[in-house]
Amino acid sequence: MTFALAACALPAGAQQAFPSRPVTLVVPFAAGGVVDVVARMVGQKMSIALGQPVVVENKPGAGGTIGATYVAKAKPDGYTILLGGSATQVFGPALYKNLHYDAKKDFAPVGQISSGPLVLVTGSKVPAVDVAELTKYLKEQGVRAFYASNGNGTFPHLAAELFKQANKLSTAHIPYSGGPAALTALISGDVAFSINHIPVVQAMVKAGKIRALATTGKKRSVAFPHLPTLDESGMKGFEANAWWGLFAPAGTAAGVVKQLNTALATALKDPAVRTALEAQGDEVAYSGPKDFAAFVQAESIKWTQVVKIADLRLD
């Protein structure tokens, strides 16, 4: 009887070491995009460190909030994690009134992956070769000038709102269905400027179809090293970086979060990962769980204020 009781008690008391099976990395955007490419490369390198496959699962929709909701409701065992960023952890909570997750309470930050600036671009029909000339032109045009974004609530939308607020502009927003459509409007002269992602604008800038004036990071971009930042261009303190990181469901054991973070750190040391990130204008920005949590909180405060001033809502 004693042996039987001990045998029954063993499975409950004995836990398998993490991870004992594949980890699912949820990407809240469509397959094939820039975010998806980053996730698959980082996931593949993490697989080696963890000794188990990291399988990418795409759950796009609603600005990334569908995938984030899925992970927020997942079992907090470390086997379902999110590739999250501004869209899921900052913009979504600020823009959607009826979000099905609490970005602060429903996730355990694992670590940051990357950070990269956007680029302020204008078309040939706008008489401006630098930021000072562009802001002067926009103030003269007032409500007759427009800026293009990749859609309501996207980073290009909110980065341009920050630019608009910082310069006290009356420029109006025109949302388009993605980056290519926004650039087409820029080239045709329908809009005066856009602040967009480096992979979206890079080819057009090199071809001379649009003009890059500045980048939005704290330091110069690896993709546009000769281009000044907005801070260098007279807008002191301006910073708007797109970033990505890993999140587990809240309640995930600290030891499991640490293992995931250690695997992430190992993956980000791989030269291939660094090269891939730099090719799209991003840089490795590794951090531990505590530092990453503090960073996300600061980003949330900053961009929630931008949304509040602009009086933006998506539902």
Classify residue 196: in a domain, yes or no.
yes
Classify residue 137: in a domain, yes or no.
yes
**Mutual orientation of helices 271-279 and 34-50 as an angle, nearest 10°?**
170
Same domain, 207 and 272: no
Classify residue 230: in a domain, yes or no.
no
Same domain, 112 and 136: no
Same domain, 246 and 99: yes
pLDDT at 253: 98
Same domain, 45 and 102: yes
Q: Rounded to two decimals, what is the model's pTM?
A: 0.92
Classify residue 289: in a domain, yes or no.
yes
Classify residue 227: in a domain, yes or no.
no
Structural domain of 177: 117-215
pLDDT at 139: 97
- CA atoms within 13 A of residue 274's CA, in its CB half-sphere: 10
Is residue 117 reached through a cis peptide bond, with omega within 30 degrees of 0 on the bond before it? Answer: no
Classify residue 210: in a domain, yes or no.
yes
Per-residue pLDDT 10s for the chain (315 aa) are: 444 444 444 454 446 899 999 999 999 999 988 889 889 999 999 999 999 999 999 999 999 999 999 999 999 999 999 999 999 999 999 999 889 999 999 999 999 999 999 999 999 999 999 999 999 999 999 999 999 999 999 999 999 999 999 999 999 999 999 999 999 999 999 999 999 999 999 999 999 999 999 999 999 999 999 999 999 999 999 999 999 999 999 999 999 999 999 999 999 999 999 998 998 899 999 999 999 999 999 999 999 999 999 999 988
What does residue 212 show for φ and ψ, rounded to 5 degrees? -90, 130
Classify residue 73: in a domain, yes or no.
yes
Instruction: Tell me if 168 sits within 8 A of 161, measured CB to CB.
Output: no
CATH value at residue 61? 3.40.190.150
pLDDT at 3: 42
Classify residue 11: in a domain, yes or no.
no
Count structural domains, the chain.
2
> Cα(9)–Cα(14) distance, rounded to whole angstroms?
9
Same domain, 197 and 62: no
CATH value at residue 125? 3.40.190.10
